[in-house]
Structure 1
Amino acid sequence: MTKITLTIGGSDTWGGGGIQTDLKTFENLQTFGLSVLTCIAVAENDDFVIRPLPASLIHEQLQTIEQSFQLDGVKIGLLASIEIVDLVIDFCQRNRGQFPIILDPVLAFKETEQQLQQDYLQKIRELAQLVDLITPNLKEMQRLVASADIVSLADMETTSQQLSEQTKTAVVLKGGPHILTDSAIDYYTDGINSHYFKGPISYQSTIHGAGCCFSAAICVHLAQGTPLIESIEKSKRFVYEAIENGLPIHDAGNVWHGKIERSLT
């Protein structure tokens, strides 16, 4: 039977992250993908800007999904406003335990929005208590636990265990190539069990959307009944392939799981 997976997150107009990458990942891994759009990322005067959608529209989208589908897995990404986080908290409370829920705690705030960021972080911590797995990168983890820079394996362990203890939720911290020089490394803990995931480092520049791809892939594998540790291992390999086969754009590029013969300039 076809599995149905939902992404709740932002639209990346450049196509490299957000719901665009989530839906591509769902499709590549053989689930039927649905989406609830929370915001749109655009360029304004050469700056990166997030445009949240009205909370009422997010409510209508969630209501439509719940009335129309039996879900097998949900991935949550950028929610963009405190009002939207509250709606997703309500959604998770209604559906907790019915399907796996993965939270990729995307943070996209300017330095001038410090108070907004702190209020948003507190709401994300509340949401994190209602999901099955949290997948922060190093910078997101620093903000979630008010940590100094994470520069070692010991730092990865300490901060992950701290977040897992605070939220009572399993955590996989994406260290990538930033901790070790010979491999890309991630660290998992559920407060009792822990596990390191090591893989090759890709030196391609097509890394935009890698974090979205990772959490969406975990969502799919869990929806398909794969155990959690194996789901993380498979997803790590999938992301590496998506970077290796990505789409170059200017000096960087997007993850993609299809091979290409040209770049966009």
Structure 2
Amino acid sequence: MARFTLTIGGSDTWGGGGIQTDLKTFENLTTFGLSVLTCIAVEKENEFVIRNLDAKLVEEQLETIEKYYKLDAVKIGLLGSVEIIEVVKAFCQRNAKKYPIILDPVMAFKESEHALKQTYLQKLIELFPFADLITPNLIEAQLLLGGISIQTKEDIFLAAEKLSLMTKSKVLLKAGATHGFDLYQTAYFSQLFEGPISNKKTVNGAGCCLSAAICAYLAQGASLLKSIEKGKKFVYEAIETGVVVGEAGNVWHPINEGSFNK
């Protein structure tokens, strides 16, 4: 029986992250991937630019999927605007507890957008109670916690605990790229997920890949902790087999490489 996974997020025109990586990950992990597009990342005059879709169009995409599919898991990524967050929040309210939701709090702000950033963060936090897991990286965690410094292993443990208490959510604080581990934290429990650090530069989309893999494994019925464990293995392999683009490159897990569901 097919398992249906939905990603709600942005389009990475370079193919490195966002819905492109999410859908490839869903496919590799044998779930039927669906997408709701919120924004498009492009280059304009040598600058990285996010073009948000109209919130009404996002709402129409969600309503279309709700009409035709019984979902098994959902991943939420870059939403782009306060108005789109409100639309996704209403979607989560309508479908509360029907399936697991993974929230990857992706953010993209310019230095000049301080007021917008604060409003966006406040609204984004309103989504957290609907998520079975939030998966911030260290920079995102710093923003969510008001700019605190997260450098050492002790900082990471303290930040994860603060995030879990503040959001009342289960947290996977992603520190694998620099520290070799990610930290799972709830109000009463923590667990380190350690793994090797890849020397490859094909890391664009690694965070998206991890949250999408966790989503896919949950859709297949794995426990949350097992989904994290398997997701970390999957994203490491996706970095190792990534595609070079310029001086860096994108994660990519060829569908015929390895056995991903073991």
How far residue 146 of structure 1 moved from its aligned partner, in angstroms, is: 1.3
Residue range with higher mean Cα deviation, 2-11 or 143-152? 143-152
Offset from partner CA, 1:161-195 (integer Å, 9 cap, x none) = 1111111110000002323xxxx110001111110
The equivalent of 1:51 in structure 2 is 51
Amino acid at match of 2:83: E
Distance, in Å, in 2 between the alignment partners of 1:190 and 1:226 is: 19
CA contact (8 A) 1:26 1:216 kept: yes
How far residue 259 of structure 1 moved from its aligned partner, in angstroms, is: 8.8
- 1:232 and 2:228 correspond: yes
Distance, in Å, in 1 between the alignment partners of 2:177 and 2:130 is: 30
Aligned-partner SS, 1:201: coil
Amino acid at match of 1:137: N
The Cα RMSD (Å) is 1.2
Matches within 5 A, 1:1-265: 1-179=1-179, 184-258=180-254
How far residue 148 of structure 1 moved from its aligned partner, in angstroms, is: 2.1
The equivalent of 2:260 in structure 1 is none
Distance, in Å, in 2 between the alignment partners of 1:217 and 1:95 is: 21
- TM-score (ref. length: structure 1): 0.95
Distance, in Å, in 2 between the alignment partners of 1:227 and 1:55 is: 33
How far residue 45 of structure 1 moved from its aligned partner, in angstroms, is: 0.7
Question: Equivalent pairs: percent with the same residue?
Answer: 59
Amino acid at match of 2:189: N
Aligned-partner SS, 1:177: helix
Distance, in Å, in 2 between the alignment partners of 1:111 and 1:223 is: 38
Structure 2: any 5+ residue segments left out of the alignment?
257-262
The 4+ residue runs of structure 1 with deviation greater than 2 A are: none
Structure 1: any 5+ residue segments left out of the alignment?
261-265
Number of residue pairs aligned between Structure 1 and Structure 2? 256
Distance, in Å, in 2 between the alignment partners of 1:192 and 1:95 is: 27
CA contact (8 A) 1:77 1:104 kept: yes
The equivalent of 1:263 in structure 2 is none
How far residue 153 of structure 1 moved from its aligned partner, in angstroms, is: 1.5
CA contact (8 A) 1:245 1:259 kept: no
CA contact (8 A) 2:204 2:249 kept: yes
Distance, in Å, in 2 between the alignment partners of 1:246 and 1:149 is: 31
Aligned-partner SS, 2:80: coil
Distance, in Å, in 1 between the alignment partners of 2:27 and 2:11 is: 17
How far residue 147 of structure 1 moved from its aligned partner, in angstroms, is: 3.8
